[in-house]
Amino acid sequence: MGSGEPVDFHKRFRGATRQSGFKNGESAGPSGPHQPLKRCPECGSARLWKDGLRYTGSGQVQRWLCRDCGFRLSESTPQVQVKVNVPGKILEVSKPGKDRVQASVLRADVAREKVDDEDPLFFREDVGSHVSSRNGSVVEGLNTLRFYNSNSRVCVSEREAKNLAKVEPQQEKAGAGATLDVKGCLVNYEAKMMLKGLTPETILRWLSVLRLLMKRGADLLDPVSVFKAIDHAQRYNHATKELLDREWTDGSKNNAAQAYKTFCEAVGIQIPKGINFDKWSGRQQKLPWIPLEMEIDQLIAGCSRKIASFLQLLKEAWCRSGEAYRLEWRDVDPEHNVITINSPEKNGLPRQFKASSNLIAMLNALPKTSHRVFGTSTLTKIRQNFMLQRAGIAHKLQNPRISSITFHTLRHWGATMEYHRTKDILHVQERLGHRSITSTLIYTHLVNFEGDEYHIATAKSLEEDEENLKAGFEYVTERDGIKIYRKRK
C-alpha cells in the first residue's frame, strides 16, 4: 500500500482474522495480536488514506486521512492500548516495556455511554495531553474517545474537575433567565448589607426574621405572601413549642417589614403598589417601664461575676448592650475612673463618663483573655445567660417585676433619673449619645416622682456633704446652716 492509497479495514481485517484465528477486531501486526480495528474518531468511518510517516524520537508514527470527513489522525508505533474500566474513574494505560501508569478521566458524557473494555482510545494529531505536569498525572498520547467529536477532552486538570451533572442544569437555568433561589438571595443580601457597613448583629437579626417568615410559610420571592405572613404572624411559646392565639405586636411586625424591604432592595424584587409594608410603622410610642433602683441592685447582686459587671456598666453608662459588649480594655482608664464608649450604635456619638470605684473594681476582676472586656462570648450568649439568671432571682425573691428588667431597661432608668435630678434635657442627650434631641424628649413625659418616698440626710460640714453625694443623695435646700439632702427609695 503506497501513500494516498485508500484502505478498507473492514475487508482487510476480516480476512486476516479468518487466516490467523484471531478474534474480530484483532490482527497480526508489529504490535502482536492486539492491533485494534482502525476507524476515524471523528465520524467513525473506516475509509482512511495513509498520509505518510512521521519520525519521532520514540519511533515511527503513521499518519492517516479520513476520506469521508477529511480528518487527520496519527498512530504511534508501538500501539498504546488503553483499557477503560469504569467511565469517569480510572484508566489503565499500558505500554510495552514500560511501567503501568494511571490517569483520571473526568467526563460526564462518558458516564452516559457504555464503552467496551477492548475499545481503544485513538490518537489525534491536533490534540495532546490535557493534564498539566503540576498535578503529577501522566497521560501521554491520549487524545479522544472513539466516536466522539473533536471537542471531546480526555481529562482535565484537578482545578477544572467539577460536577458537570450539576453545573450544566444550573447553566441552562441561568440561560433561560431564571431567578436565583431563596438561599442564593439570602447570601447576596447578607453580602450587600455588610458592604453597606451594617453591624453583624443587625444583619443577623434581619436574617433571623426572614428565615422565621420562611418557616411560617412565606415565600420571600413573593411580596404578597410575605405581607400576609407578617400581618397574621402569631407569637410562639418556646416552653410548649406551640403558637399562641396572640399576634405579634405592631413593633415586631414593623421590624419584620423593614427587614423584608431591605431584602427586596438588595435582591431587586419589585413590591406591588397595593402592598403597604409601612402599615405598622405608625404605632403609638409607649413610655418605657422604669424599675426601682433597689430591684436593679438586687438583680446585679444575684448574677454571676461577668453578668453583674455587664449590668453595672449599663446602669452607670446608660449605653446600649452592643456598645457595652464591644468595650475594650484600652477604653477603661482605672487611674482616673473614666470609661469611653468608642463604638456607638444607631449612628450615635462617642462619649465618656465617670465610673464608680465599684464598677472599675468589678471590671478589673474579669479575666483578660481578649482585647474586649467581656471576652469572646457573643452578645446573644451573654443575653441568654442573663435571662436564665434573672428568672432564678425573680423566683427566689418572689418579685415578678425583676423578670421585666432587660439590658435596655437600664438605659431608660439612667436617663429618667438623670433628667428628674437635673431637668437638663441637653445634658441627658449628651450622656445618651443621641444626635437628635427628639429621641431624648421621651424622658420629659415620664411620671413625676415628687410624690415618691425619699431618704433624708443632713450635712453640717464639707466632709458630710461629700459623704452624702457619694451615697447618691441630691441637695434640696439649706435651713439654719444645715444642708438637706434626699435620695429616692
User: Is there a contact between 305 and 350 (Cβ–Cβ < 8 Å)?
Assistant: no
Cα 209 from Cα 40, distance rounded (Å): 62
Choose which CATH entry (1.10.443.10, 3.40.50.720, 1.10.10.10, 3.40.50.2000) describes domain 293-444. Answer: 1.10.443.10
pLDDT recorded at residue 289: 87
pLDDT in tens, 213-243: 999 999 999 999 999 999 999 988 877 888 8
Domain ranges of the chain: 6-135, 182-267, 293-444, 453-488
Cα 489 from Cα 472, distance rounded (Å): 11
Mean pLDDT across 406-422: 90
> Between the ranges 42-56, 84-98, 182-196, 433-447, where is the mean pLDDT highest?
182-196
Quote the cell numbers at residue 59: 519511533
Integer angstrom CA distances of residue 292 from 298, 313, 409 = 10, 17, 11
Query: Grid coordinates 443580601 are at which residue?
Result: 189
State the chain's maximal CA–CA distance in angstroms. Answer: 140
Residue 87, phi then psi, degrees to nearest 5: -60, 135
pLDDT recorded at residue 371: 94
- Give the pLDDT band (50/70/90) at residue 8: low
Quote the cell numbers at residue 193: 448589607
Mean pLDDT across 351-365: 94
Q: Any residues with CB less than 8 A from the CB of 389 and at least 6 apart, and which? A: 302, 303, 304, 307
Min mean pLDDT across 28-42, 52-66, 265-279 is at 28-42
Min mean pLDDT across 351-360, 415-424, 438-447 is at 438-447
R_g of the chain, CA atoms, integer Å? 41
User: Is there a contact between 425 and 419 (Cβ–Cβ < 8 Å)?
Assistant: yes
Please give the full DSSP string across 398-416, using - where no structure is assigned.
T-GGGGG--HHHHHHHHHH
Min mean pLDDT across 121-125, 155-159, 321-325, 382-386 is at 121-125
Min mean pLDDT across 5-14, 280-289, 335-344, 347-356 is at 5-14
Between 401 and 108, name the one with better pLDDT: 401
Mean pLDDT across 390-401: 95
Predicted confidence (pLDDT) at residue 293 exceeds the cutoff of 60: yes
Please give the full DSSP string across 325-345, using - where no structure is assigned.
HT-BGGGEETTTTEEEE-S-S
Integer angstrom CA distances of residue 124 from 74, 121, 266, 272 = 6, 10, 51, 59
Q: Any residues with CB less than 8 A from the CB of 296 and at least 6 apart, and which? A: 311, 315, 405, 410, 413
pLDDT recorded at residue 411: 94
pLDDT recorded at residue 92: 42
H or E, element range at 59: strand 59-66
Min mean pLDDT across 64-73, 320-329, 440-449 is at 440-449
- Give the pLDDT band (50/70/90) at residue 448: low
Between 348 and 445, name the one with better pLDDT: 348
Predicted confidence (pLDDT) at residue 392 exceeds the cutoff of 50: yes
pTM above 0.95, yes or no: no
Q: Any residues with CB less than 8 A from the CB of 180 and at least 6 apart, and which? A: 188, 267
pLDDT recorded at residue 26: 40
pLDDT in tens, 295-346: 999 999 999 999 999 999 999 999 999 999 999 999 999 999 999 999 898 8
pLDDT recorded at residue 390: 96
Cα 280 from Cα 231, distance rounded (Å): 9
Cα 215 from Cα 122, distance rounded (Å): 56
pLDDT in tens, 130-166: 444 444 444 434 444 333 444 444 444 444 444 444 4
Between 8 and 327, name the one with better pLDDT: 327
CB-side exposure of 47: number of CA atoms within 13 Å? 6
Predicted confidence (pLDDT) at residue 273 exceeds the cutoff of 50: yes
Mean pLDDT across 57-82: 68
Cα 324 from Cα 308, distance rounded (Å): 13
